[in-house]
Amino acid sequence: MGHLTPEQILYKYWGFDSFRSLQREVIQESIDKKDALALLPTGGGKSICFQVTALHNEGVTLVISPLIALMQDQVEGLKKRGISAEAIYSGLHYRQVDRILDNAVYGKLKLLYLSPERLHSQLFLDRLNKMSVSLIAVDEAHCISQWGYDFRPSYLQIKELRNLAGKEIPIIALTATATPKVAADIQNQLEFKKTNLLQKSFNRKNLAYKIVCVENKENVLLKYLRKRKGSGIIYLQSRRKTQEMASWLSQNGFSATHYHAGLLNKERSKRQEQWLNNKVSIICATNAFGMGIDKPDVRYVVHYGLPNNIESYFQEAGRAGRDGQFAEALAIFHNQDVSLLRDRVTDSFPSLEMVKKTYQGICNQLQLAIGSGEDETFKLNMNSLSNLLSIKITNLQHALNLLALSGYIKLSEKSHQSSRIQIKMQHANLLAFIENSPNQKPLLHLLLRNYGKICDALVVINEDFIAEKLSISKSKLIQSLSYLEQIDLIQYQPGNSSPEVTFCSPRVGQDALHFTPEQYRNRKERAFEKMNAMIDYTTHNDACRSRTLLHYFGEKKSSLCGHCDVCMKKLNITLSAKFDEAQIQIKKILLNRSYTLEELKSKIQKTEEKELIKVVQWLLDNQEIKLDKLHRLCLN
């Protein structure tokens, strides 16, 4: 494929005539065998940079990616375009991995996706020196920096990959969010031969950032959504809240579903597809949703509460308006959300005593003697460990993360075990119980209707599906199932996610555990700095939102955006004669046909662009005009 130019490859496989801004320059750096860090904002087309390069070069491109779902989506998309790609991650059978690696060595595989944890597996290392590797691509490269917001210790192994595969092989690192300090650290950690940063401005001229602090968040959200058309994302801070929000919106006449990492893969894919194909307008999600999703016509992203840091907020907000048309990023919060954010970040750094207690508990559960366990891998029973230590599972996970950061253990991606149920009561007694138990009747009817063999054997169930059908919360459903188990009507085995833990060194006594300031105190300070920056951004209402964000990411020279909530307030556009003239002109132009915002600008040249955008936004908010199916402006 090397005889085709990057432009020809782009057209042949993607059907595009030209690259987006900076993509071509990044590709050329890799073709010229130069290390490069590409800072492209969300929706900037990062994956095209290494995918086109992979097709241009001879040999295989190794792509390091942190998320299984993202790897699976990209591989599936490439295969549909006729491009040979595979992914290796935990959960695959040995024979599957063996076949994929054989294909990478002897076949015509162009892209091999790997989770960073797989880089040191012996099976992979045995084949690596036989592969003809042309490029190493590091996706979500901010994960390698301890200054970043999503540091993953496994990413530190990547630099060793080039030493094993060949020092002349170029590295391309890509991320959507990095401060200047993080960008410098990424290049240092990956041991770039020469500093090489290619950066596209983070400025999104078509995206209006808006912050609202109110007592009644529900009323504000309903009022906002009733004035909006098209697709939207609502980000919430817990799985339970995504389900409750989707249910509440559905009851209020909106087309909504929910998404989080706890759903079964099949269910997640189904909901994602419904939203992508506009069968559902709103998706209520945790931060597990959105990475790698290519939906250009998202008209709004709502943060219902506060994210942990500006990097997360910026990346999630940036999923709106990728088509270049006007879009909004709205954050709605209550003063209590600030306290919740502080608690959330504080909880993510459990005391060192709790971390030591967790280490001791793991070793006891696995019956590891002091001095044993090095390089051994075990599955953890998180529910059992939580009960044994009297520590909440979320706090337990944070303690495990700190043990991993300190180099005592490695954590793999979780393997999910589904919940199972069997009805144990005899049929006649069951019917009598149902008739005499109105509170349990809907649940038992639903179980009998949807799970045919539930009276004969344990069957896999989906609590999210059941809760949604019954219009109750998942926690309330689990209470009901637990009650039915207590009275011996059912056998209920709750599902759990079991991470695999590998001991990096022999077990030591609890008092011998040692944590450096970098592993704990310094990292905690950085997390609080990022949290305070997020709080300052949302609670200070005197600076342009876009300019504040750009300054945070190192862009010191930027102009006022003109359409965030702060700029709108400062400009203080009132229904003046000038305003009236502009809105009459707009409505007159839209009488005969619809126009994009850019086309409208060319038609109304006497009004300044910022003023025109404000008038258009006012007309949209007051439903004088709307966006049609092609996201063009038209009369309502």
> Exposed, middle or buried by CB within 10 Å (0-12, 13-18, 19+), for 577?
exposed
pLDDT tens-digit series, residues 345-372: 998 899 999 999 999 999 999 999 999 9
- The two tokens of residue 117 are 């944890």
Q: So what's the pLDDT on residue 133? A: 94
Give percent of the chain above pLDDT 70: 96
Residue 571 has pLDDT above 70, yes or no: no
For residue range 537-550, list pLDDT tens digits in order. Answer: 999 988 899 999 99
User: Is residue 282 very low, low, confident or very high in pLDDT (cuts 50, 70, 90)?
Assistant: very high
d(CA 427, CA 424): 9
Task: Give me the sheet containing 282-285, strands edge to edge.
Answer: 207-213, 327-333, 298-304, 231-235, 282-285, 256-259
- At residue 17, φ and ψ (nearest 5 deg) are -85, -25
pLDDT score of 275 more than 80: yes
Q: Residue 61: pLDDT band by 50, 70, 90 thresholds?
A: very high
Q: Determine if residue 390 is left, alpha or beta; phi over 0 gives left, psi from -120 to 50 gives alpha, anything else beta.
A: left
Measured distance CA(295)–CA(280) in Å, rounded:
13
Pick from 449, 479, 471, 473: which is nearest to 461 by CA?
449
Looking at per-residue pLDDT, the higher value among 569 and 286 belongs to: 286
Q: What confidence tier does 416 reach under pLDDT thresholds 50, 70, 90?
A: low
Record the pTM: 0.74
Mean per-residue pLDDT over the chain, rounded: 88
Alpha carbon distance 496, 417 (integer Å):
5
pLDDT at residue 14 tops 60: yes
| Better-scored residue on pLDDT, 453 or 28 | 28
**Is residue 1 pLDDT above 60, yes or no?**
no
- Tens-digit pLDDT profile for residues 591-618: 889 999 888 888 887 777 877 888 888 7
pLDDT at 576: 57
Q: Residue type at 257?
A: T
pLDDT for residue 340 is more than 70: yes
Cβ(566)–Cβ(541) below 8 Å: yes
Which residue type does 598 have?
A: E
Residue-wise pLDDT for 73-85, tens only, equals: 889 889 999 999 9
| Nearest C-alpha neighbor of 313 from the set 292, 288, 287 | 287
140-154, 324-338, 422-436: the lowest-pLDDT one: 140-154
Q: Give CA–CA dist 230/278, Å, rounded.
A: 8
CA distance 101 to 130: 10
pLDDT at 575: 45
Measured CA distances, 24 to 33, 110, 170, 192, 194 (Å) = 14, 19, 16, 20, 20
- Residue 55: band (very low, low, confident or very high) from pLDDT cuts 50, 70, 90: very high
SS3 label, residue 411? strand
208 has pLDDT over 60? yes
Domains in the chain: ranges and CATH: 6-199 (3.40.50.300), 207-343+538-558 (3.40.50.300), 350-416+498-519 (1.10.10.10), 419-494 (1.10.10), 573-635 (1.10.10)
Name which of 302, 292, 298 is nearest 323 in CA terms. 298
Q: Are 613 and 216 in contact (CB under 8 A)?
A: no
Spatial CA neighbour of 563 closest among 547, 579, 578: 547
Q: pLDDT, tens digit, for every residue of 502-556?
A: 898 999 998 889 888 777 888 899 999 999 999 999 999 888 999 999 999 999 8
